[in-house]
């Protein structure tokens, strides 16, 4: 488990943006069950999910999660994060609005205390001291444990820290930026990532799989359809596909899914605690979420949304301990060695002593197999995955990733 202040969280956060949208009630509960059984405990949602669906008003995702918590009696086993300020009826960070929204979220989530409460977006019309003061009071009253910032710029994040420090108010413990292998400047070039490391603020990035683009299921020249089409098109350049090609090559080398490679890379970036990943069906749960992502016969690498043949296991080692090499220097990471070791670690499932022994044997075998190709793969990957130019910079509408079936609220 990893830490966000006093919270102990799994290294993958399950995104709830699809609950009540591309995942119906039964599918949502099955996804939550699989995530919990696989060792995951960190769940992210927002009061605005899924207001963009015709006939929805917002809060549908929270209600499904709250119903699941009530049915399963699992509240003490999970860490719940939700967000405020983007609900179409209750928008903004005015303290009175925050209190109304907090009561609604707690009711829908069937909980007295929200573990992590994000400001979903900035509100320049409300003085920072006012809304940070409101979050501080919520913490003092036990309504929330911590608060965080989603979609805030570096300058505004710094300003929040400065104001909170000056006024003696609670500090934010987490931020949610958009961050992945083809969208890096928002964290890296802006300096936000370095600032978070310096201030010991956890990063919980969304769009970790670039709206599914990094799963390798989109081909060059293919017409993109569906709810995610608009976002996927922003990545579908030759530069973007060069990154995907390298992700797929490493995945095939190690017999894991491309999603495992992309998430492993993201999880090892400085300051990142738990990338957000959302799915529309239990079989799409990402590898660190308790699903064996070794390639299976009949798996469609490109052009198919489903990940066939996945096997849910009781607990995945990735949830139980940090991966080795987590403190190695950035130079080794950029040359590919660390990512290859990590993918071996999270892509091969071991259960119990026999499983762990098999995991080690397979890891040694694979490491030996790819040793001679480290430099070639590392150099190519390093070239393909440089921070993209302006064509990869885009505006985003929420704080959630859509691993296999959703786009957030757009």
Pairing of strands 114-119, 79-84: parallel
Give the whole-number percent of the chain exceeding pLDDT 90.
55
Predicted pLDDT at 224 = 67
Task: Report the residue count for the chain.
Answer: 410
Computed over its alpha carbons, how large is the radius of gyration of the chain?
Answer: 20
Predicted pLDDT at 280 = 86
Q: How far is Cα 80 from Cα 76, in angstroms, rounded to an integer?
A: 10
Predicted pLDDT at 314 = 25
Predicted pLDDT at 237 = 86
Predicted pLDDT at 96 = 97
Kindly report, residue by residue over 73-96, the tens digit of the pLDDT. Answer: 989 999 999 999 999 999 999 999
Predicted pLDDT at 399 = 37
Per-residue pLDDT, averaged over 302-328, amounts to: 30
What's the pTM value of the predicted model, to 2 decimals? 0.74
Number of separate domains in the chain: 1
Q: How far is CA 50 from the centre of its chain?
A: 18
Residue 387's pLDDT band (boundaries 50, 70, 90)? Answer: very low
**Residue-number span of the structural domain to which 13 is assigned:** 2-238+257-310
Kindly report, residue by residue over 190-234, the tens digit of the pLDDT. Answer: 999 999 999 999 999 999 988 888 988 888 877 666 656 667 788
Q: Higher confidence at residue 351 or residue 218?
A: 218
8 A C-beta contact, residue 143 and residue 5: no
142-146, 259-263, 280-284, 358-362, range with the lowest pLDDT = 358-362
Q: What is the mean pLDDT of the chain?
A: 76
Asked, for residue 369, whether it belongs to a domain, the answer is no
Asked, for residue 398, whether it belongs to a domain, the answer is no
Q: Which long-range contacts (CB under 8 A, 24 or more apart) does 130-133 make?
A: 130/93, 130/94, 130/95, 131/93, 131/94, 131/95, 131/98, 132/160, 132/163, 132/164, 132/167, 132/169, 132/170, 133/95, 133/167, 133/169
Predicted pLDDT at 315 = 30
Asked, for residue 60, whether it belongs to a domain, the answer is yes
75-89, 149-163, 184-198, 354-368, range with the lowest pLDDT = 354-368
Asked, for residue 392, whether it belongs to a domain, the answer is no
Any catalytic annotation for residue 147? no
Predicted pLDDT at 199 = 97
Q: What are the tokens at 110?
A: 């069937």
Give the whole-number percent of the chain exceeding pLDDT 70.
68
Asked, for residue 252, whether it belongs to a domain, the answer is no
pLDDT of 294 above 70: no
pLDDT of 70 above 70: yes
Predicted pLDDT at 311 = 27
Asked, for residue 327, whether it belongs to a domain, the answer is no
Tell me the three-class secondary structure of 310-356, residue by residue.
CEECCCCHHHCCCCCCCCCCHHHHHCCHHHHHHHHHHHCCCCHHHHH
CATH number of domain containing 203: 3.20.20.100
pLDDT of 329 above 70: no
Asked, for residue 377, whether it belongs to a domain, the answer is no
Asked, for residue 177, whether it belongs to a domain, the answer is yes
């Amino acid at each position: 488990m990893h830490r966000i202040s006093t919270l102990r969280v799994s290294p993958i956060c399950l995104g709830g943006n699809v609950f009540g949208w591309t995942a119906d009630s039964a599918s949502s509960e099955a996804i939550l069950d699989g995530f919990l059984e696989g060792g995951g405990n960190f769940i992210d949602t927002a009061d605005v999910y899924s207001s963009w669906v015709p006939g929805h008003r917002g809060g549908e995702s929270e209600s499904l999660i709250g119903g699941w918590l009530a049915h399963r009696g699992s509240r003490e086993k999970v860490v719940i994060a939700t967000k405020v300020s983007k609900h179409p009826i209750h928008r903004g960070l005015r303290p009175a609005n925050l209190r109304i929204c907090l009561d609604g979220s707690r009711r829908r989530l069937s909980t007295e205390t929200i573990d992590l409460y994000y400001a979903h977006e900035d509100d320049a019309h409300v003085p920072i001291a006012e809304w940070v003061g409101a979050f501080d009071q919520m913490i003092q009253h036990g309504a929330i444990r911590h608060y965080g910032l989603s979609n805030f710029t570096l300058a505004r994040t710094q300003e929040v820290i400065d104001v909170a420090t000056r006024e003696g108010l609670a500090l934010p413990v987490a931020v949610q930026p958009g961050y992945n292998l083809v969208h890096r400047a928002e964290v890296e070039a802006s300096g936000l990532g370095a600032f978070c490391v310096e201030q010991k603020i956890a990063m919980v990035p969304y769009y970790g799989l670039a709206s599914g683009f990094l799963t390798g299921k989109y081909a060059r020249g293919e017409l993109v359809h569906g709810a995610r089409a608009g976002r996927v098109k922003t990545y579908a350049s030759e530069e973007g596909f060069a990154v995907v090609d390298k992700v797929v090559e490493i995945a095939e080398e190690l017999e894991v899914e491309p999603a495992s490679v992309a998430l492993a890379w993201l999880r090892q970036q400085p300051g990142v605690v738990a990338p957000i990943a959302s799915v529309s069906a239990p079989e799409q749960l990402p590898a660190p979420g308790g699903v064996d992502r070794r390639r299976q016969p009949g798996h469609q690498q490109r052009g198919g949304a489903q990940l066939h043949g996945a096997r849910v296991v009781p607990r995945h080692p990735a949830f139980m301990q940090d991966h080795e090499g987590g403190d190695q220097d950035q130079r080794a990471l950029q040359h590919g060695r660390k990512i290859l070791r990590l993918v071996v670690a999270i892509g091969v499932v071991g259960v119990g002593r026999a499983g762990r022994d098999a995991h080690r044997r397979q890891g040694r075998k694979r490491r030996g197999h790819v040793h001679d190709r480290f430099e070639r793969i590392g150099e190519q990957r390093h070239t393909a995955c440089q921070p993209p130019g302006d064509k990869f910079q885009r505006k985003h509408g929420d704080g959630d990733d859509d691993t296999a079936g959703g786009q957030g609220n757009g």
